[in-house]
Copies of this chain bind each other. A is one copy, B any other.
């Protein structure tokens, strides 16, 4: 994903007071995540080298941020500190965060997007709070009932986007169609695939498999008015097989699938590491094999895939892993830059008009039966 991002060109954009041919201003929750604010400042510096046209509003404790910027010339020249007094606790429930969180670095950062001072927000903080605040402050895109979490996953063929990864525990057919549209626009813009194929995650590829909700969603996605490359149902092993460009599922299943894949990846790397430790001959061999094994590790490096999007809100919200380092945070910033520059939200809005047509047709069809 990052590789594609390097080829991105900036678009003319008015962001708050800043008018430029290509400047992108992002609001950062500098206090969110296990290693904040240190990795945020370091991550910003890395991202700025990669995207020199970026500027950052750092929302957080001035007393902590000032010395960090003083020690980092790159970060200092692209960052403005906006002092905030409170932080969202990693344990806070979304409802708690909404009630008492108006003075937090996370709230203020999201508000900056709402007010047009920044084009997107990046946070490594509390996921539930970030989604709830983004939805409340930015509001969903017109026509979107349920914003969803999307991320990119490495596959045997390349990369696949999957959503929803946990925002919506239960979904109806309409929600799944919304996810499909959002995912399609996301992949077209971010991975550069003109007509992305879309699959609905199920427990079999036959038409009769799964729940009524899935069959109804499949019927809508097949509708010619939607003009989507709908592949049909896909199964769990199709995710990493790269069978489709977009895997659509409810937030419960998506979250379990993503974490199961992460867990399995860890299982393999740990088995391999421990096995090699048991044999000095293997260790000798590994001296030669290591470079290619490091390539595999790099290809599936979680930091490379850091930056899940909360798609479907009227703005850009990127969630970095809470435990990430500066490299990972810089990648999450990169995702936000791409989202802003490629104006994914505008494409989603256009495509949603087609979904409304499909729904109207289906209502008419049912009425005339």
Contact A235 B256 (CB under 8 A): yes
Cβ–Cβ < 8 Å partners of A251 in chain B: 203
- A276 to B286, alpha carbons, bound, how many Å? 11
Range, interface on chain A: 35 or more
Instruction: Please provide the chain A residues from 278 to 298 with a CB less than 8 Å away from any CB of chain B in the complex.
Output: 278-279, 281-282, 284-293, 295-296
Q: Within residues 257 to 295 of chain A, which ones have a CB less than 8 A from any CB in chain B? A: 257-272, 275-276, 278-279, 281-282, 284-293, 295
Stretch of A59-67, A236-244, A358-366 at the chain-chain interface: A236-244
Question: Which residue on B lies nearest to A268, using beta carbons?
Answer: B268
Residues of B within 8 A of A211 (CB): 169-170, 252
User: In the complex, are the beta carbons of A268 and B265 less than 8 A apart?
Assistant: yes
CB neighbours (8 Å) of A267 from chain B are 154-156, 240, 300
Neighbour of A237 across the interface among B262, B275, B287, CB < 8 A:
B262
Oligomer copy total:
2
With a cutoff of 8 Å between Cβ atoms, the chain B residues found around residue A143 in the complex are none
Q: Does A116 contact B (CB under 8 A)?
A: no
Residues of B within 8 Å of A346, CB to CB, are none
At the interface, yes or no: A255 with Cβ under 8 Å from chain B? yes
Q: In the docked arrangement, what's the CA distance between A161 and B279, Å?
A: 30
The answer to the question of A197 belonging to the interface, with a C-beta cut-off of 8 Å to chain B, is no
B282 touches A288 (CB 8 A): yes
Choose from B93, B208, B285 the contact partner of A286 (Cβ within 8 Å): B285
Query: Are B289 and A263 closer than 8 Å at their CB atoms?
Result: no
Interface hits, A284-326 → B, CB 8 Å: 284-293, 295-296, 299-300
Q: Is the CB of A263 within 8 A of B291?
A: no
CB-nearest residue of chain B relative to A165?
B203
Closest to A256 in B: B236
Question: Chain B nearest CB: distance from A282 CB in Å?
Answer: 4
A286 to B272, CA, bound (A): 13
Q: Is the CB of A236 within 8 A of B260?
A: yes
Q: Which residues of B contact A232 (CB under 8 A)?
A: none
Residues of B within 8 A of A252 (CB): 203, 210-211, 253
Q: A298 to chain B: closest CB distance in Å?
A: 10
Asked if A112 lies at the interface with its beta carbon under 8 angstroms from chain B, I say no
- Contact partner of A156 (CB less than 8 A), chosen from B259, B270, B282, is B270
- Proximity string of chain A (193-223) to chain B, C-beta cutoff 8 Å, 1 when within and 0 when not: 0000000010100001011000000000000
Instruction: Point out the residues of chain B lying under 8 angstroms from A279, CB to CB.
Output: 291-292
Q: A295 to nearest B CB, angstroms?
A: 5
CB of A285 within 8 A of CB of B275, answer no
10 A-B pairs (CB sep. < 8 Å)? A156-B267, A235-B256, A236-B260, A237-B260, A237-B266, A252-B253, A253-B253, A278-B292, A284-B285, A289-B289
Q: A236-B262, A268-B296, A285-B286 are in contact. List 17 more A-B contacts (CB 8 A).
A: A170-B211, A203-B252, A235-B255, A235-B256, A236-B260, A239-B260, A241-B263, A249-B256, A253-B253, A257-B260, A265-B268, A271-B296, A275-B293, A275-B296, A279-B291, A281-B291, A282-B289
